[in-house]
Amino acid sequence: MNTAAGGPGDPPAPRPRRKKVVLADSRAPVTVLRTVVELEEQTSWAEEVVRSFIRTQFRAAVKFAVGTLLLFGALPLTFYVFPELSDVEFAGVSLPWLLLGVAPFPVLFIIGYWYNVVAESNERDFVDMVEK
């Protein structure tokens, strides 16, 4: 039983923080701590690692942004160049209205979901690399 937790009747005494005491654990955690400290101390290695990670994330974000912008940016120009698209109908609704009024919302969600997966896997790679 853990007595430090206290019963419901006890006064709410400030609990001491639990500390983990480990003797001579010479495996991975030491290097993890070392790399994290190194990151924080901004050694030249750490600076380079962080910079390249930021660049990876930036590239991913820019790719998605440019893709989205091209996708949506092409629409007004297409409608301008091919006005006859308005005469095309699906189930009684004209094509531009489907492309502008309905389609963008699921498309935006899918792009967002996809980016989320990419960004999180980039982060996982970075953590794995640091904690190796």
Partner 1 sequence: MELNAWAVVAIGVVGLATFSLGFRSSRLASTTQDFLVARRTVRSRRNAAAISGEYLSAASFLGVAGLVLKDGADALWYPIGFTAGYLTLMLFVAAPLRRSGAYTLPDFCEARLGSAGLRRLATATVVFIGILYLVPQFQGAGLTVHQILPSVPSWSGAVLVAVLVIVNVFGGGMRAVTLVQAFQYWLKLFAIAAPTFIMCVLFFGQGGVNGLGATGLSEPLPPRFTRDAVVTVETDVVLQVKDGVWLSASGTVDNAPAAGRVYWGPGDHVVDEGTELRFSEGSETPVVHPAALDNASWLRPVNGTGDLFTTYSLIIGLFLGTMGLPHVLVRFYTNPDGKAARRTTLHVLLLLGLFYVFPILLGALSRVYAPELLVAGRTDAAVLALPMKIAPNALGEILGAVTAAGAFAAFLSTSSGLVVSVAGVLSTDILKGRVRDFRFGTALAGGVPLALALVLRPSDISLSIGMTFALAASTFSPVLLLGIWWRKITWVGAAAGMVVGGTMVLTSIVITTVSGYTGGWAPSFLQQPALATVPIAFLVVMVTSKATQGRIPPDTNRIRLRMHAPDRLGFIRDRDIARFGTAEERTRLANGRHRR
User: What CA–CA distance (Å, rounded) separates 130 from 25?
Assistant: 19
Residue 109: enclosing H or E segment and its boundaries? helix 104-130
Cβ at position 2, least distance to partner 1 in Å:
21
What track of x and - describes contact with partner 1 for positions 89 through 128 (by CB under 8 A)?
Answer: -----x-xx--xxx-xxx-xx-xxx-xx--xx--xx-xx-
> Any idea what DSSP says for residue 92?
T
CB nearer to partner 1: give 10 or 87.
Answer: 87
User: What CA–CA distance (Å, rounded) separates 73 from 75?
Assistant: 5
What track of x and - describes contact with partner 1 for positions 43 through 62 (by CB under 8 A)?
Answer: ---xx--xx-xx--xx--x-
DSSP assignment of 37-73: HHHHHT-HHHHHHHHHHHHHHHHHHHHHHHHHHHHHH
Task: List residues binding partner 1 (CB under 8 A).
Answer: 36, 39-40, 42, 46-47, 50-51, 53-54, 57-58, 61, 64-65, 68-69, 72-73, 75-77, 79-80, 83, 86-87, 94, 96-97, 100-102, 104-106, 108-109, 111-113, 115-116, 119-120, 123-124, 126-127, 130
